[in-house]
Amino acid sequence: MKFLILLLFVPGFINGWRIFHRGRHVGGNLGLPGGKEKEIELGSVEVAEEWFPQKLDHFNPTDGRTWLQRFYKNEQYYDPSTGGPIFLMIGGEGEASVKWMTKGAWIDYAKKFGALCFQLEHRYYGKSHPTKDLSTKNLQYLTSQQALADLAEFISAMNQRYGLSTDAKWIAFGGSYPGSLAAWLRLKYPHLVHGSMSASGPLLAEVDFSDYFKVVDESLSTYSDDCVNAIKEGTAEIDILLRHMIGQRNLNKKFKLCDPVEKYVNNPNDIANLYETLSGNFAGVVQYNKDNRIGGNQEVSNITIDTICDIMTNQKLGPPVDRLAAVNSLLLSVYDQKCLDYKYDKMIDNMRNGSWDSEIAEGGRQWTYQTCTEFGFFQTSSYTPQVFGNDFPVEFFIQQCVDIFGPKYNSSFVNSAAERTNILYGALDIEVTNVVFVHGSIDPWHALGITKTINQGAPAIYIKGTAHCANMYPPSDNDLPELKAAREQIIEYIDRWIRL
């Protein structure tokens, strides 16, 4: 859990929106692989950390500036005698992890196919720093197009370095935003990458991503409708408590608010942030329900839809608002938080810090920039009936783009940015072959992806009952049969692409 590692180095406390914000988990959306195998540490013979001289701006041939991009390499499964394929794990909206170099479904595939394995960290995340800081001006080189060109340059360079023939088969893997990149890489550079496994990748850039919470509701209702109804009633009780002083003081205590809400009740941004944070308690659990992330913080991965719905439906805990508070206390406690921070200005101040040394440089600022300039993906409360209230509409998120990056990043800007992305990649009409799109029914992100096979050349696997990127983690004894079948099916696709 990247989150815990962060805690060791960052003094002070980390609050709610810093754990799970806008559908993004601190450290990035792909967790670390769990499982029983021994952990291999960096510096071992198996895995090497290296640095690749990369162009800053791929789209301006007169700009010769370069920087060093981190990558990991694992040769131990590679079998050049059989012309083993090259596997590429695409880095995304968090630091690249060496743990993925020896664990995960793709490593099982690498063993099977005798593949050489690389993982390229995404520019601006982790230790891959193209510019001296993260000022808004310097973030202009943070785009998915630049990231795809990084991957293309990297593949070409490795082909040369390893004397790989032009027949060498590169297969890309990615989960969450890198799942989108895996599909787009095959779309834009089909001569360099021969197939892609795209897990939980959103392909449609959508500013008002209201369906996110629709899926959260549906996923919670797989436990029971009572669970969803209790959340709805609890939220309505918060609305009422917010209307008077005694209620407000009550909320301070119940929800362990860092700042007394009676002082900020007239600030719509603070209230929006409070509701959004509380909804995030549920979204974060749903998005990672029962997956096989690394056992570093077992306490966190132990919390599932069952855990929170057990609480929400337990009448002994008091009225629904008290049960919402109990879920909140549980999450604060497993994440080692003293109080729930909902103050908008604090969040914005934090997000505005453009220093590589700031806490938010773990990726929160960078990902927010990408949402404001490329994707939207704002998980708003505009879906009805919205069990988490309707206090965090799309305007609230656009306001954040403006407050963090400047007045230019207003609604016209964000809307045309998302439209541009859809034009560049084709959104859900993407014309591509040799890509498998994998999604889970519990994962809210599936709402922006391809979940049905439209084109046999680019099939979809829709796994009933699993969450975000579930197929990428190592197998576990508790895996659903559909998940096991999906992993097998992916082997067949890879086998087919390699033989082409």
Cβ of residue 286: shortest distance to ligand NAG, in angstroms?
18
Pick from 412, 464, 481, 496 the residue near ligand NAG by CB under 6 A: 412
* Residues 342, 274 contacting (CB under 8 angstroms): yes
Largest CA distance in the chain: 75
| Residue 442-471 contact track with ligand NAG, rule CB under 6 A, x = bound | ------------------------------
Among residues 21, 45, 8, the alpha carbon closest in space to that of 360 is found at: 21
Please report whether residue 408 would count as binding ligand NAG according to CB under 6 A.
yes
The span of 80-88, 103-111, 150-158, 355-363 binding ligand NAG (CB under 6 A) equals 355-363
The span of 19-27, 282-290, 294-302, 453-461 binding ligand NAG (CB under 6 A) equals 294-302
Please report whether residue 488 would count as binding ligand NAG according to CB under 6 A.
no
Active site residue 259: no
- The nearer residue to ligand NAG, 353 or 476, going by C-beta atoms, is 353
Q: How far apart are CA 492 and CA 486, in angstroms?
A: 10
The catalytic position among 97, 128, 176, 381 is 176
| Residue 300-339 contact track with ligand NAG, rule CB under 6 A, x = bound | --x-------------------------------------
Return the structure tokens found at 294.
């690394």
* Residues 69, 128 contacting (CB under 8 angstroms): yes
- The nearer residue to ligand NAG, 302 or 315, going by C-beta atoms, is 302
Please report whether residue 345 would count as binding ligand NAG according to CB under 6 A.
no
Cβ of residue 300: shortest distance to ligand NAG, in angstroms?
9
Tallying the residues shown for the chain, one arrives at 500
The span of 19-27, 154-162, 266-274, 298-306 binding ligand NAG (CB under 6 A) equals 298-306
Return the structure tokens found at 390.
């309707």
Displacement of CA 419 from its chain's centroid (Å):
21
* Residues 140, 133 contacting (CB under 8 angstroms): no
Please report whether residue 477 would count as binding ligand NAG according to CB under 6 A.
no
- What's 147's DSSP letter? H
Q: How far apart are CA 316 and CA 319, in angstroms?
A: 8
Please report whether residue 298 would count as binding ligand NAG according to CB under 6 A.
yes
Please report whether residue 411 would count as binding ligand NAG according to CB under 6 A.
yes
Pick from 135, 156, 314, 355 the residue near ligand NAG by CB under 6 A: 355
Active site residue 345: no
Please report whether residue 357 would count as binding ligand NAG according to CB under 6 A.
yes
Cβ of residue 353: shortest distance to ligand NAG, in angstroms?
4
Return the structure tokens found at 346.
């604090």
Total binding residues toward ligand NAG, as defined by CB under 6 A: 12
Q: Applying CB under 6 A, which residues contact ligand NAG?
A: 298-299, 302, 353, 355, 357-358, 408, 410-413
